[in-house]
Structure 1
Amino acid sequence: MKLDWLQGLRGLAVLGVVFTHGRYLLSGTPNFVLADAFFRPGAMGVDLFFLISGFIMVYTTQNASGVRNAAVFAVKRFARIWPAYAVVTLLWIFVRRDGLSFFQDAEQLRFLFRSLTLRPQVPEQAPYFGLVFPLAWTLAFEMYFYIVFGISMLAGRLRWLVLASWMLLTLVLLPLNHGGPTLNVQQFLQFRSGYMQLVTNPIIYEFLAGVVIGLLYLSPRVRFPNVSVAWQAVICSVGFVLWWGWSGVGDFHGPAGWGWPLAVMLLVLAVASKTVTLNMPRWLVWTGTVSYSMYLTHYLSQLVLISWLEKRGLHTQSWNEIFLALLLAIPVASASHWLLERQLGGWTRRKLVLLVDRVLPAPPVPEGLDVIKMAKVAPRKM
């Protein structure tokens, strides 16, 4: 079952990120201060993505557990994230880095391999970690949480206890003797392993909050008593997020920054959607559908736009260029969604699912129940 209100939130999140990076088009001009005040809070779209990711993982696996389901979950998530990311990283090298000469340097190749495996390159630069493709830091956290979430599915009914125990270990107990724990996502704890800097980073609390919100959404007991209270909660929670972001009170990623008001808002919207209809414009739902591709490609297309304008003497560093960057991001995201997500990612997904079927075949459906199952279970597409 597709949740349009959630797709709409994805659309808002990615547009916020697009405008955040669009403000760099005015760098060095008198207008940058105003552009920074308007557009920098749009970076909270990343925190909203993390919250939504945790929510969706719960929503799409509510009846799934065991080895086979965990394996299918893992390969589907890998197929959705990694192939498109790998292609965009290579494009980034040719557009922004050294092109072919990049591949002639052995150290650069090692750097690329570590980046493609989403391992922190510069642990001191949390939460970004200095990957080849700078926007990939969010994917490093995504893939890590996918792994942990998938492993927790192996525990069956104890999956939430296993997940909570792992989070307690990595976010609280392990940091105790290394300068933490804290809620500062820019923290540098005294771990030798760079990857430990990632798994102990408090921004992971946002995924965990999304999981909790997903569980509350699925609970039939958690709902607003009436329509009036639901709408009041929606208006107040959305308004508070806008105030928190644009007043400057919250000014960075993480649960203590933009994260916690967004978590409250997502919880309110999720619970309210069971009482009222949260209509989203179709264009915003579509933007949510291509949001991953737009996130991956918008900064790359922005740099291409600047280069094209500069070569023709048209780079004026004016407000209209932010509008042009948004216009370019739309068709590029659409093409990337079709080519990289649906075609390349879809092909990868099919191949990996077939491999899972060979190694872990699905249990046979008892005779006479297959038709009933098909009638009762609606496909879930998120």
Structure 2
Amino acid sequence: MRENLKALTSLRFFAAAAIVIHHTSWYFGYGARLGKVFPLDLGVSFFFVLSGFVLYYAYPSLSSTRDKARFVVSRFARIWPAHVVTLLLTLVFLPHTWVTGPDEPSKALPMVANLFLLQSWVPLPHYFFSLNGVSWSISTELFFYAMFPLLIWNWERTKWAKLGAAAVMAWACVAWAKASGVPLLGNTNILSIDGLVFIFPPARLLEFSIGVLTAWAWLKYRSRFLHLATPAQIAAALLVLLGVPLLAKTIQIAALQGIISAAAAKWLSESGYAPIFAFAIFSMAMSNGALARLLSARPLVLLGEISFSIYLTHQLLMSVLGITRSLPAFGSMPCQLFTYWVIVLTLSFCLWIFIEKPCRAIIVAKFDQLWPGNAVFARITQNAAER
């Protein structure tokens, strides 16, 4: 059984925390200055790259039809139960946000799309941002899961062609947005650049594919770099902290000067950092490095394990607290911030321990009952499914 890369699990929490800060700084103000320097919403891109890495690390091959089916079921079991619970919580506590569509008959369709995680395929805000808005990204992630068996098939020989195909899909989405003359996302429910190059699943497949390539390279060549683990991890941290803001500023200047289109700038500002994240993941996967050992501390790993639940609950909770005007009751702004994070972490832990883990185990076990297979492979993939 492959080693559980604890440092990478911990990094999931920091990516989720960046997104939480991004979505709540309008109220707390704590991320306003930071967000001007470092694009905090890039946690989503990091998740996409990391997902490709972890899945190839856990499933470098899926040889039989059953293996492929079990992979898809295990990944579905990983995300869908928690998604359904937060969807129901949204329907109960935020009924006015069910849909933001312009006409009444359209309400049922976004709800159905949300239920089956298909909302990101409709590049209109009242679909992809309806209900629990952050779930658009797991709709996109579900597309990656469906593509994964095909992506890794004969990977050694076809990897560059597949990466090229993913790049072409991203370019096609950018070209579509540019040719359509659509604007950036605004307050109206119309086709936008964001819907086509930021939300639409084919536009984001390249990040996931880069993660797969990184895992392949790590598995094949890591022994050559183990003695450089600590320097590589320090370099990766500096590259993320300094390189990302520099690249963000470069993209912004290029767009303002008309060197690149608004559509290209949007795609680059959301997906263009994937190589940086890939290098960081490659280096942090070497668990003998100093930073990786720090990140392997059990409290950080636990926070990483509940990061998916943090991602699903944070915006919903903020909306409920905002509508009910509950936060001021906790006193000063630092007290409100502390209380918010305590509630987020508690709610996320409960969702993880009572919904995510048991539902995943039940669904995968049921599949193994209905379609028995190799017991050794089942044990290995069960461990992988829990990541």
* TM-score of the pair, normalised by structure 2: 0.75
- Asked whether the 8 Å contact 1:65–1:153 carries over to 2, the reply is no
2:78 equivalent in structure 1: 80
* Structure 2 gap ranges (5+): 253-265
Aligned runs of 1:156-167 on 2, under 5 Å?
A: 160=159, 163-164=162-163, 166-167=165-166
Secondary structure in 2 matching 1:86: helix
1:262 equivalent in structure 2: 277
* Deviation per residue, 1:95-131 (Å, 9 max, x gap): 22338999xx6532222002223233751559x9333
* TM-score of the pair, normalised by structure 1: 0.76
- Asked whether the 8 Å contact 1:25–1:321 carries over to 2, the reply is no
Does residue 345 in structure 1 map to residue 345 in structure 2?
no
Distance 1:131 1:100 in 2: 6
Does residue 278 in structure 1 map to residue 292 in structure 2?
yes
* Deviation per residue, 1:208-254 (Å, 9 max, x gap): 1111111011114663273xx43222112201211245566378852
- Asked whether the 8 Å contact 2:99–2:107 carries over to 1, the reply is no
Distance 1:374 1:130 in 2: 36
Distance 1:67 1:163 in 2: 21
**Match for residue 295 of structure 1 among 311, 318, 321:** 311
**Match for residue 337 of structure 2 among 295, 309, 322:** 322
The alpha-carbon deviation at position 94 of structure 1 amounts to 2.1
Distance 1:69 1:42 in 2: 37
Secondary structure in 1 matching 2:308: helix
Secondary structure in 2 matching 1:123: coil
2:115 equivalent in structure 1: 116
- Asked whether the 8 Å contact 2:173–2:196 carries over to 1, the reply is no
Does residue 305 in structure 1 map to residue 321 in structure 2?
yes
For the structure 1 residues 317 and 109, does the alpha-carbon distance in structure 2 shift closer, same or farther, using more than 3 Å as the test? farther
Secondary structure in 1 matching 2:128: coil
* Deviation per residue, 1:309-365 (Å, 9 max, x gap): x2586276824322221111111011000122022333233323433x1xxx426x8
In the alignment, residue 339 of structure 1 is paired with which amino acid? F
**Match for residue 362 of structure 1 among 346, 366, 373:** 373
In the alignment, residue 92 of structure 1 is paired with which amino acid? T
**Match for residue 71 of structure 1 among 59, 65, 69:** 69
- Asked whether the 8 Å contact 2:177–2:197 carries over to 1, the reply is no
Aligned runs of 1:1-382 on 2, under 5 Å?
A: 1-26=3-28, 32=29, 35-38=31-34, 41-98=39-96, 107-117=106-116, 118-120=118-120, 123=123, 129-152=128-151, 160=159, 163-164=162-163, 166-167=165-166, 170-172=169-171, 178=176, 198-201=200-203, 203-220=204-221, 223-224=224-225, 226=227, 229-245=228-244, 249=249, 254-256=270-272, 258-270=273-285, 272-273=286-287, 278-279=292-293, 280=295, 281-307=297-323, 310=325, 314=329, 318-355=333-370, 357=371, 361-362=372-373, 379-380=383-384, 381-382=386-387
Secondary structure in 2 matching 1:314: helix
The alpha-carbon deviation at position 194 of structure 1 amounts to 7.9
- Asked whether the 8 Å contact 1:17–1:42 carries over to 2, the reply is yes
Distance 1:119 1:377 in 2: 29
* Deviation per residue, 1:180-201 (Å, 9 max, x gap): 79xxxx799999x989972431
The alpha-carbon deviation at position 20 of structure 1 amounts to 2.2
* Structure 1 gap ranges (5+): 27-31
Distance 1:153 1:70 in 2: 11
Percent identity, aligned pairs only, is: 22
Distance 2:380 2:113 in 1: 45
1:29 equivalent in structure 2: none
Matched length: 350
Distance 2:138 2:111 in 1: 15
User: RMSD in angstroms over aligned alpha carbons?
Assistant: 4.1
The alpha-carbon deviation at position 54 of structure 1 amounts to 0.4
More helix by share: 2
Distance 1:348 1:204 in 2: 27
For the structure 1 residues 378 and 47, does the alpha-carbon distance in structure 2 shift closer, same or farther, using more than 3 Å as the test? closer
The alpha-carbon deviation at position 61 of structure 1 amounts to 0.6
* Deviation per residue, 1:150-192 (Å, 9 max, x gap): 34456687674785475256335x55974679xxxx799999x
Distance 1:243 1:138 in 2: 26
In the alignment, residue 132 of structure 1 is paired with which amino acid? L
- Asked whether the 8 Å contact 1:75–1:353 carries over to 2, the reply is no
- Asked whether the 8 Å contact 2:52–2:210 carries over to 1, the reply is yes
The alpha-carbon deviation at position 283 of structure 1 amounts to 1.0
Question: Which of structures 1 and 2 has the bigger CA Rg?
Answer: 1
- Asked whether the 8 Å contact 2:124–2:192 carries over to 1, the reply is no
Distance 1:161 1:243 in 2: 29
